[in-house]
Amino acid sequence: MHPQFKLLINNPILETMSYTPIKSEYLNQCLSSYLHLPQITNRPFIFSCFALSVDGKLNYPDFSSGFAIAKHNFAASEGERYADWWILQLARSISDAVIIGSNSLYIEKNDFTAQINAPELQQLRTKLDKPQNLLHIILTRNSNKIDFTNELLCQDNDIPLIIFTQQAPELLPQHFILGNIKQLNLVNKKQIILDNTLDLNKLIQKLYQNGVQTILNESPYYHHHLQQLQLLDEAWINQSGVYIGGDTSSLGQFNNSFAVNTHPHYTILTLHSLGYNFVYPRYKVSY
């Protein structure tokens, strides 16, 4: 299935020297434009991708998976619902690594991987000279919260994984290597990196030195935290035409709020639509 988005807004900044286009005719056909990414020379490009309800909720109170926001929009066509999934796969296909919080692993029932199912996006990833699997980065203060026995990412497989944590597991799985940030080596498939302060700046710089140029964030908690550190460059927020209400999960729900004079600003880079039940804005985050 090839989504055909209508391009409603295209910010002229994307045509400047600050951005570089991915020359993919497939993306040009789907998005009605090339995908332009920012040129950042001192650290990775970091962006988030989420689907939200019109009132900013991440999930339903009786269905905790974030994927349900699009899947259970019953007014939308199959193509609209697929387009939400396609946007996430696009985000993954251009990324070297993906950030996941330990809560997301729990919600997704030990079965989370940043998979890319669309053959055309798999081919795009190959064209961009990226490996088949993204480097998965789990951020957690206490690694004992992770179900090493059943969690798919923690098995002895080919999915590269870094667990960045303040506390080592009580029992180190046999195929994991334990070390600190200086010892981080992407040759190792499974590694636990200890840091007393859980300093994301240090981790991100070390990853950049090891060739990681683009990082996708899929953790709601760290979406907010990365902005507190002024590290988040963009937010891709698919808005599904459903209303949820109440106090169910939302971005930044468990973080300290930004203040009236010290908050990020979101500038629209592109705005796409497909049908009448979703919109797909891409935002530049400024501090």
Choose between 184 and 75: higher pLDDT: 184
In DSSP terms, 179 is beta-bridged to 193
The pLDDT assigned to 174 comes to 87
pTM of the model: 0.95
Q: What is the CATH number of domain 6-286?
A: 3.40.430.10
Which pLDDT tens digit goes with each residue over 230-259? 999 999 999 999 999 988 887 877 778 888
Q: Tell me: pLDDT of 60 over 90.
A: no
The pLDDT assigned to 251 comes to 84
pLDDT band at 104 (very low <50, low <70, confident <90, very high): confident
Which pLDDT tens digit goes with each residue over 163-190? 999 999 999 988 999 999 999 999 999 9
Choose between 147 and 27: higher pLDDT: 27
106: number of Cβ within 10 Å: 15
* Type of residue at 178: L
- Positions of E strands within the chain: 6-10, 19-22, 35-38, 45-52, 97-101, 135-142, 161-167, 177-180, 190-194, 214-217, 234-240, 265-273, 278-286
The pLDDT assigned to 8 comes to 98
Q: Which of 23, 28, 38 is nearest to 5 (CA)?
A: 28
pLDDT band at 107 (very low <50, low <70, confident <90, very high): confident
Q: Where are the domains of the chain?
A: 6-286
pLDDT band at 260 (very low <50, low <70, confident <90, very high): confident
The pLDDT assigned to 69 comes to 87
